Amino acid sequence: MIIEAEKLNFSYTKNGRQILRDVSLTLQEGEIMSILGPNGAGKSTLLNLLAVLNQPNSGTIKLCGKDTKKMKPREVASIISYVPQNHTPAFSYTVFDFVLMGRAPKIGMFEKPSSTDFEIVQQVLEDIGIADLADKAYTEISGGERQQATIARALAQEPKAILFDEPTAHLDYGNQLKTLRVIRSLSEKGYAVIITTHNPDHAIMLGGTTGVLDRNGHFETGLSNEIITEEMLNNVYGRTNLKLTYMEDVDRYICVPPNL
């Protein structure tokens, strides 16, 4: 098992609202988990805990069987890579150098990147399909290209699991689909993947498992084609009368909102 989280509880202040309540999940090699939930439910908070960017008030997280409390940051980085919603660098690094930063956990404190590091970065850029952007400034490329570069940097880290925090939030529809295809291909290559999203259709398209986080911090998981129901969607999104309709042309269910 790549990730094992058991009975996680979290609140930002001692007397504040509890964000997560007894949240448990597991993720194995090649598995995709989509996490759905309303704004403010704690989806990003959960990812931050799994990436060991924050610590739960109680509960345990294990990466490849080892308690994260006993792991050094370099050990965590060898297993988990994190793709945030937004990333704006302070300097105009080239896309190649930006992706090369993903190799940092593999390079000693006083070492320079080796020829192997450069080869890995070049290969990742080709795999993602953005090798032609290598010499362009990261700050000057489009939002969709920037998202792809951020994914490439995560892959250059050579992790076992990749966590995506709303990777399609600021992309046009074409780039959303391109990002979902990349995520699906990563699971097919054996990466364990978690993605947070506000779009139930994304969870349906990706398949795998889905975790549902409600406003009270409770978390429920199941196979995507079983847990995503009209009742669940309307409970999560405030009884909006959402419908699931099977589309024969695409051989899957789609989420349909009421007539506006």
Residue 150 · residue 103 · CB < 8 Å: no
Range of the domain at 166: 3-79+159-256
| Residue at a domain's end among 112, 141, 157 | 157
Q: Are 168 and 126 members of one domain?
A: no
Measured between alpha carbons, how far is 31 from 57 in angstroms, rounded to an integer? 27
Q: Are 166 and 64 members of one domain?
A: yes
Q: Are 188 and 244 members of one domain?
A: yes
In this prediction, residue 15 carries a pLDDT of: 61
- How high is the mean pLDDT of the chain? 92
Question: What's the structural domain count of the chain?
Answer: 2
Q: Are 73 and 134 members of one domain?
A: no
Q: Are 74 and 197 members of one domain?
A: yes
pLDDT digits (tens, 9 = 90+) for 86-140: 777 767 899 999 999 999 888 877 789 999 999 999 999 998 889 999 999 998 9
pLDDT digits (tens, 9 = 90+) for 43-85: 999 999 999 999 999 999 999 999 999 999 999 999 999 998 8
User: In the chain, pLDDT over 70 holds for what percent of residues?
Assistant: 98
What six digits make up the tokens of 117? Answer: 């590091």
Domain harbouring 165, CATH code: 3.40.50.300
**100 compared with 14, residue with greater pLDDT:** 100
Is the Cα torsion angle 136, 138, 141, 144 positive or negative in sign? positive
Going by C-alpha positions, the residue among 201, 211, 202 that lies closest to residue 179 is 202
What six digits make up the tokens of 28? Answer: 């194995």
| Residue at a domain's end among 112, 142, 157 | 157
pLDDT digits (tens, 9 = 90+) for 169-189: 888 888 889 889 999 999 999
**Mean pLDDT, residues 210-233:** 94
In this prediction, residue 7 carries a pLDDT of: 97
Going by C-alpha positions, the residue among 3, 7, 23, 5 that lies closest to residue 163 is 3
Going by C-alpha positions, the residue among 12, 16, 88 that lies closest to residue 49 is 12
